[in-house]
Structure 1
Amino acid sequence: MCDETKPTCNQCAKSRRQCPGYKDEFDLVFRNETQATERRARKANKKALQRLGKPDENPDESIEHSDSVSPTAGFEDAFKSPLEQAVTPALAIPSETRADCHFVANFILIPRQGSTRGFLDFLIPLLKQEGKDSHLQRAFNACSMALLNNCSGARNSYADKALNEYTHALKGTNMALRDPEAQKADSTLAAVVLLGLFENITAKQLGMLAWGSHIEGAIQLVKQRGRKQLRTRTGLLLFIAVRTQMIIHTLTSGKSPIMGVEWWLNDAVKDETAAKVQRIMIKTGELRAEVTRLMNCMARTPENIEIMLNMIRRSQMVDQEAVSWMRDVPDFWKYRTVAWEDNVPNGDYARAEVYPGRIDLYTDFWIASVWNMCRTSRLINASLIVRCAAWVSAPVDYRTTPEYATCSRTCVEVITDIIASVPYHLGWHLKRKDVLQKANLGQFACGEEDSLKGLAGYFLTWPLACVHGQDYTTDTQRAWVNGRLKYIGDELGVKYAHILSQLQVRIPSMMIRRDGLMASPYGMAHDFEKLVSARNAPPSAGYTMNPLQQREAMQKEYFEQRRADLLSKAAGNTPTPSTQWVTEKWLTLPEKNAYPGPLQVDFQNPVSAGPVTGP
């Protein structure tokens, strides 16, 4: 028996044995802790596998084996610390399994019973039904591999695997879409939704173009599936998921939502409070598309001025719906202010966790995201009101109008509210036990609840992008928002945030410049016969075109020059195909060399557009 004499016990000395040395209390506790860590890692892995419907793996057999064993492997193990030796076997599970666990722990939000809605929770039963080589499983693998690849420390190790899974998923989904029965299956629609999410996670060159295509495809599938899809829980959840993506797509692209508000909401409500916000957002999307259409084709007449004034009134009514919703939400939906920040460490706004001002705490991430959706609807409606006021008041500066004064106050307030929600999304509350409650944590399908989640950052990208592009955002606010978008891309793996952080869009001022660029300059543009007669006149002496054709050619050149200038300013100092695509969609600009017709005065610089002064 060891008598604990150091450095060698007397019992070992008498029997002439080599004494291994006395293990002190700290070392014993340390070893016990590493074993506990290993057990926790195995338990988390088992939980994730059960959630995904996969058989439990023997932890001892889950270690990745390379084709060849390094001759120095034994020596490397000898120099590992006790912590490394204990934890490494538990963590060195196959990359596919790690990716699945990471994605489920970060993106699949389980709804609380009778309270809030989840996110992608329909995937768990669907994945259990589908085979391992199905297009849905491949799409899931692509997303999980891409997210794991984007994590700090991954060093782009899984990019090829993610792309390979995406390619197989795309091929399988295209095959399913050719089958009349398979194209209506829940698994096919879920795969399309995941393919769109993959584009958000990776944000490769022109990836956002692919995202738009996937969402438009999902919208068409929902339309083909009809009302029958709402009879099952999975069908209803898929419908709501597509509806949410449709709203974001229409607001970013300027397209009008197909089928209208009632088609999207009748018999398709799982949470009444959230559905009211989606109704407001769909109405906002319809208004945005209608205002843009009118700006592209209307001549300045008394009748058309009245139409624009009516558009202002309609936008104001939708904004009032948003105000009423915020005032009347149930107590369970209300947020509370828990702290106040007075300054930024070292004045570095780009790296600061909190912007000076209040910090708000919400019931969960999903409720916080609905609040911010409502707030972004107010920002968009304010921009529509100012755009219409600029059209009506031109060539007078729109910033002198009462509509601009009211909207600027609204936007400043909304921007403050969105910024106050960001620390909660990005884990500020997790480090403060004095404010942290179980109710403030999302219930994810696996993993620890009190940890930073990729879904929270994903929910933030759209509201932060709207704040980043507002004329009313201050320079310090914009620097802080820009830093938060980069943080979401770098730390949470949602690379789409990087593209949004690079944009230099300013709304509504750039939209007003765009409206002036797209409109018609002719005071009699509504007189079709006179316009056709002038265009068909013979060429002037010594010229190949008549005066009207010459003017249109000059205006086409002017249009392309101003379009390029506006796009360059909005896309940032070093534009990429992705930022240019997003900018063109946000500003609803036509493609290059797609001159829409004769121009109208530029509202911000009326003299430079020629002798015509009416919009």
Structure 2
Amino acid sequence: MKASRACRGYECNASILYEIQNTQSYSHLSAARKCSLPLRVSIPGTNLFPEDAIPLERSEEESNWLSFRAFLYDFCVTSTNSDLSRGYLHDVEALVGRLGPASDLVKACQAVSFSCHGKVLRRPNLVYKSERLYQEVLGSFAKTINDPILANTTESKLVALLLGLYQIAATTESSYGEHLIHANGLAALLKIGQSPLSLLGTMGSPLIQGVGIKQNIGVFSASAFSNYGESLESILLQLSSVWNKSEAVLEMEEVHALKNEITALDGRFINWQKSRIQEIQPTTIGHVEERQHVEKVQVGFWPGKIDTYFDFCVAGMWNVFRAARLLLTLLGVKLCDATGDIDGYAEYKTIANEIAKDIAASIAFHLTDNLHVFVNELETSSEIREQGRLLGGVLLMHPLYVATQVPYLQEELREYMRSCLEWIGSEMGLGQATLLAKVREIDARFAYPIIVSWLTCIECRTQSLTDAFWKVVV
């Protein structure tokens, strides 16, 4: 700390790691390590950059392994309480211990890691390695899914998920539909339809049960989200039904009936929120004071409260709830316009702005490396000094996008959220966030379906929830 140097941790080569994995003590260890590769900057006094090469003390094999360890750090969350959170991709490291470092699963993780960090660190060779690994895994995976037995393994579903996660990172404004291939392929593997919410109704299927998921536990399987009253799945499914009804040409009598249905559904959202136990509720740990004469609010510094959560998965779940409720206000406003209900319009506008503030209060939690340090330095800092895990950006980008598309939100707040999306793209290497920030008119598949369903993967019993992730990415 005194030298202001990043701790590189205890080094551990692949042979030692896999020897450890064969011992009972492995369950208490993890190879996860934060990427410490420095930003590639121009030579002082010039606009020339040094050669983009692996440090002399590292071999190609070591570089690849370190990228896998960085993936574990950035994307994998092991829950400390399964009743509150199911974690995220927490099975990957143990599965790799059985499959070995040359498996497609490891290569897919490395492709994602190299892509994100290569762009952020201005290291094109890492980006090139990510593309090469992606193509290698894609070719191997195409052969795998031709075998009915191999196609139905946990590894195959995880590889499909990771190939799409790679596409999130690699997305550009001119190429943003390629993850459709992975989404449709994964839907085929899981034998479900193309609807983004299809997975919510498949938890009892033989396929899902066959990979370790109990029947009727729901996608949001942590008891804190599924128990204590109505499940979030059932409310989301009803929202989908109401949305579909709203897209039809309605007679005035049907408009009034649908308006009443929306009011009732919003009541169900409110009851669900109130019935969640205290342990998973957001906790306010700080406030950002409004700064005078600031032309643009920096990421994480929107005036108001700062909330913390049990973990990323719980935080993401709350934002799925908020994004869904924002979409419901869009329907409510549409019907209020049709019926001339001025008071109803004003009420929905107020509700939407309060929901958006709650999303804004979660941004620092998702994007900072240490929220408590960030809060303690609020008075002396004007920007996020160290970005957090990449998973935070993945889970946050779509709720932010929903908020930017709600026209009656405070315009300054919408612009702030667009800047957060741009930051996620530039500082975390997630190209889809840049796309969502800059492209204002995107295919409808990027709007309602993607947002309502995407976080169904968040508690990630990874064997069964991958499709929901990809439907969102689509």
Please, what TM-score do these two structures have when normalized by structure 1?
Answer: 0.57
- Which runs of 5 or more structure 2 residues have no equivalent in the other structure? 27-54, 193-201, 379-385, 450-474
Whether 1:272 and 2:223 are equivalent positions in the alignment is yes
Whether 1:431 and 2:373 are equivalent positions in the alignment is yes
Residue 595 (structure 1) aligns with? none
AA at the equivalent of 1:270: S
Whether 1:186 and 2:154 are equivalent positions in the alignment is yes
AA at the equivalent of 2:447: W
Residue 499 (structure 1) aligns with? 435
Q: Distance in 2 between matches of 1:480 and 1:201?
A: 22
Q: Distance in 1 between matches of 2:15 and 2:330?
A: 45
CA contact (8 A) 1:199 1:207 kept: no
Residue 101 (structure 1) aligns with? 69
1:184 CA drift (Å): 1.5
Q: Distance in 2 between matches of 1:457 and 1:123?
A: 20
Q: Distance in 1 between matches of 2:103 and 2:233?
A: 32
Q: Distance in 2 between matches of 1:420 and 1:456?
A: 14
Residue 200 (structure 1) aligns with? 168
The 5-angstrom pairing of residues 210-359 of structure 1 reads 210-223=178-191, 227-231=205-209, 235-236=212-213, 266=217, 270-275=221-226, 276-292=231-247, 294=248, 298=249, 304-344=251-291, 346-359=293-306
The 5-angstrom pairing of residues 75-154 of structure 1 reads 89=57, 94-114=62-82, 115-151=84-120, 153-154=121-122
Q: Distance in 2 between matches of 1:133 and 1:92?
A: 13
The count of residues paired between Structure 1 and Structure 2 equals 395
Q: Distance in 2 between matches of 1:94 and 1:286?
A: 51
**1:267-298 alpha-carbon deviations (Å, 9 max, x no partner):** 65631333433433333233323322x1xxx3
**1:463-489 alpha-carbon deviations (Å, 9 max, x no partner):** 111111211222321232122111111
1:405 CA drift (Å): 2.1
Aligned pair partner of 1:406 in 322, 328, 347: 347
1:316 CA drift (Å): 2.4
1:346 CA drift (Å): 4.6
CA contact (8 A) 1:99 1:147 kept: no
Change (3 A) 1:344 1:45: farther
Q: Which has the higher contact order (CA 8 A, sep 6+)?
A: 2
Change (3 A) 1:457 1:51: farther
- Rg bigger for which structure? 1
Change (3 A) 1:388 1:199: same
Residue 475 (structure 1) aligns with? 411
Please, what TM-score do these two structures have when normalized by structure 2?
Answer: 0.73
Change (3 A) 1:422 1:44: farther
Change (3 A) 1:174 1:414: same
AA at the equivalent of 1:586: A
Point out the structure with the larger helix share: 1
Q: State percent identity of aligned pairs.
A: 18
Q: Secondary structure at the match of 2:287?
A: strand
The 5-angstrom pairing of residues 494-573 of structure 1 reads 494-504=430-440, 571=441
CA contact (8 A) 2:306 2:362 kept: yes
Q: Distance in 2 between matches of 1:187 and 1:96?
A: 20
Root mean square deviation, CA, Å: 3.7
1:311 CA drift (Å): 2.4
CA contact (8 A) 1:52 1:128 kept: no
Residue 423 (structure 2) aligns with? 487
Q: Distance in 2 between matches of 1:339 and 1:91?
A: 45
Change (3 A) 1:42 1:412: closer
Change (3 A) 1:47 1:377: farther
Aligned pair partner of 2:10 in 38, 43, 50: 43
CA contact (8 A) 1:341 1:355 kept: yes
